[in-house]
Structure 1
Amino acid sequence: MITKFNYQRHPYHLVSPSPWPLNTSISLFTLTLTGVLTMHGFSKAGYILIIAFLNLIFSMSLWFKDIASEGTFLGNHTYAVQRGINLGVGLFIVSEALFFLAIFWAYFHSSLSPNIELGTMWPPMGISAINPFELPLLNTIILLSSGVTITYAHHSLIQGNRRGALYGIIFTILLALIFTVFQIVEYNVSSFTISDGVYGSTFYFGTGFHGLVHVMIGTAFLGVGLFRLLSYHFTDHHHLGLESGILYWHFVDVVWLILYVAFYYWGY
């Protein structure tokens, strides 16, 4: 009697059907739509906004759980799969860089040649820019310090120093939270708002998108990595999830340096 076995003859992971990508997409669409409606004062839109946000957290949490199981317990993240994921993360970061290119383009388009409506000066007439050598400089030091601590955590993990890796990630998350709090304080004490012409629009769009999307999501990214490290999911040669978060965090640092020089120092 001859039995036929279906062996997998390639190192790639064929992903099983999952409801989480679709559910996450629907949640993001609902979150965006209800967010706009809430800002325009539509009745009851805020309730749907909260539901969409909770559903997004629920979907992403279970999606992360499935991916962690595939990479840690099922052994699906082979070397070839890791290379593909690294390429995907790299392309995602490139897309984020191009997004910020558009923001910087809008900023320099108005600032390099301010028209008569701006008073032919930059910052525009009536705008009191934030002093770059006060809270923004402190925030820059904090964010760059977080880049040092996360690099220390990465090298500690590679060298098998679990304690150093844990301390490095914990300090990085704490510095990220401090940065976020200081950014909120800066917005509260600022003398201009997002509705104050092109200066306010580009300033808050650039720094706000960096703070809301990159710092907060990057902090959550590293928080997941910390949880997985505490759960012994990572080894010195197999820690793709944490490595992706670290790469993303370094991108956050680089973008902030450009933001600081262009928006705060040069535009002061």
Structure 2
Amino acid sequence: MADAHAKQHDYHIIDPSPWPFLASFGAFVMALGGVAWMKAHNGADFTLFGVDLAASNFWLFLVGLFVVLFTMYSWWADTIKEAHEGHHTRVVSLHLRYGMIMFIASELMFFVAWFWAFFDVSLFPGEASQVMRSEFTGGVWPPKGIEVLDPFHLPLYNTIILLLSGTAVTWAHHALLENDRKGLVWGLALTVALGVLFSFVQAYEYMHAPFQFKESIYGATFFMATGFHGFHVIVGTIFLFVCLLRAMAGDFTPKQHFGFEAAAWYWHFVDVVWLFLFTFIYVWASIGAPIAHM
């Protein structure tokens, strides 16, 4: 009788779950709260179905954010539980990897949009000045009156920090494959520490930047590209910190560690994007431009 009910395939049919619905609901509420928050910040009304959402913008956004975070925690906890129960077979693990690859590919296209905007205005500043008013660029790039950051000061420090963090997470990965628990924990701890350090250096850079987001198209493209990368660094640091806690709890084994592998892939993606940002937005765009010394 037991053999009759034994699973004869490599697939896993998950139990009915509330998390997809809650994730959608939380994201919708958070989006409404975010729009209402921005409307209220500009002194505008935001009425939906006769309700003025601008009056409760912050709390609406906070409720949506809480639902999203709770759903993320619960959904991933279920996934970890399924792995411990042996449901992550060879085929299931392969599909999880395909999902992570597609997610990183979508993130890559997200950054392509910011690079496209940057190169559009930087390679054709004269054309941009004719279409969007001459004061936007003055026909040159960087625009007239803009002092750029020294690429070989804080940006270079952050480049070194990220490259070292990529080395550390690779060390942790190899330690895991060799079942070296101590090396795994120390490698992840070093990676998390370097990720936090990167964020602090970038925050300091932003606070002392000689230009602002709203002052010029240079500031807008600079802060959008580097700011979203900084957000990804924060997300990746949290991702790796959770992996550190799981590693300390003994969750990962040399044969089953997709959670760590996904975090490592994400972190290497963040590293590669930063190399492009550093090369083009910091170094290439600063050639011939006045440098602001911090």
Counterpart for residue 48 of structure 2? none
**Secondary structure class of the residue paired with 1:11:** coil
1:133 is displaced (CA, Å) by: 1.0
Counterpart for residue 55 of structure 1? 67
Counterpart for residue 96 of structure 2? 85
Over residues 178-236 of structure 1, what are the superposed CA-to-partner deviations in whole Å (9 max), with x where a residue is unaligned? 11111111111112122123212211111111111x11111121122112111211111
| Equivalent-residue separation in structure 1 for 2:119 and 2:2 (angstroms) | 69
- For 1:94, the aligned partner's letter is A
Correspondence 1:186-265 to 2 at 5 A: 186-212=205-231, 214-265=232-283
**Secondary structure class of the residue paired with 1:43:** helix
Change (3 A) 1:114 1:12: same
Over residues 14-45 of structure 1, what are the superposed CA-to-partner deviations in whole Å (9 max), with x where a residue is unaligned? 12221122212222232233223223323331
**Secondary structure class of the residue paired with 1:267:** helix
- For 1:49, the aligned partner's letter is F
Instruction: Give structure 2 stretches of 5+ with no counterpart.
Output: 42-53, 287-294
1:160 is displaced (CA, Å) by: 1.0
- For 2:76, the aligned partner's letter is F
1:61 is displaced (CA, Å) by: 1.0
| Equivalent-residue separation in structure 2 for 1:146 and 1:4 (angstroms) | 49
**Aligned residues of 2:29 and 2:63 also touching (Cα < 8 A):** no
Larger Rg: 2
| Equivalent-residue separation in structure 2 for 1:121 and 1:88 (angstroms) | 43
1:159 is displaced (CA, Å) by: 0.6
1:4 is displaced (CA, Å) by: 9.0
Counterpart for residue 134 of structure 1? 153
Counterpart for residue 195 of structure 2? 176
| Equivalent-residue separation in structure 2 for 1:20 and 1:197 (angstroms) | 42
Correspondence 1:35-114 to 2 at 5 A: 35-40=34-39, 41=41, 42-72=54-84, 74-114=85-125
Change (3 A) 1:176 1:4: closer
Q: Give aligned pairs, total.
A: 265
Change (3 A) 1:81 1:126: same
- For 1:20, the aligned partner's letter is W
Over residues 243-263 of structure 1, what are the superposed CA-to-partner deviations in whole Å (9 max), with x where a residue is unaligned? 011011000000000011111
Counterpart for residue 47 of structure 2? none
1:58 is displaced (CA, Å) by: 1.4
| Equivalent-residue separation in structure 1 for 2:55 and 2:77 (angstroms) | 36
**Secondary structure class of the residue paired with 2:149:** coil
Instruction: Give structure 1 stretches of 5+ with no counterpart.
Output: none
1:3 is displaced (CA, Å) by: 9.1
| Equivalent-residue separation in structure 2 for 1:147 and 1:196 (angstroms) | 35
| Equivalent-residue separation in structure 1 for 2:111 and 2:258 (angstroms) | 26
Where does structure 1 differ by over 4 angstroms across 4 or more consecutive aligned residues? none
Change (3 A) 1:3 1:80: closer
| Equivalent-residue separation in structure 2 for 1:190 and 1:36 (angstroms) | 27
Correspondence 1:26-37 to 2 at 5 A: 26-37=25-36
- For 1:38, the aligned partner's letter is W
Aligned-residue sequence identity (percent) comes to 41
**Secondary structure class of the residue paired with 2:174:** helix
**Secondary structure class of the residue paired with 1:36:** helix
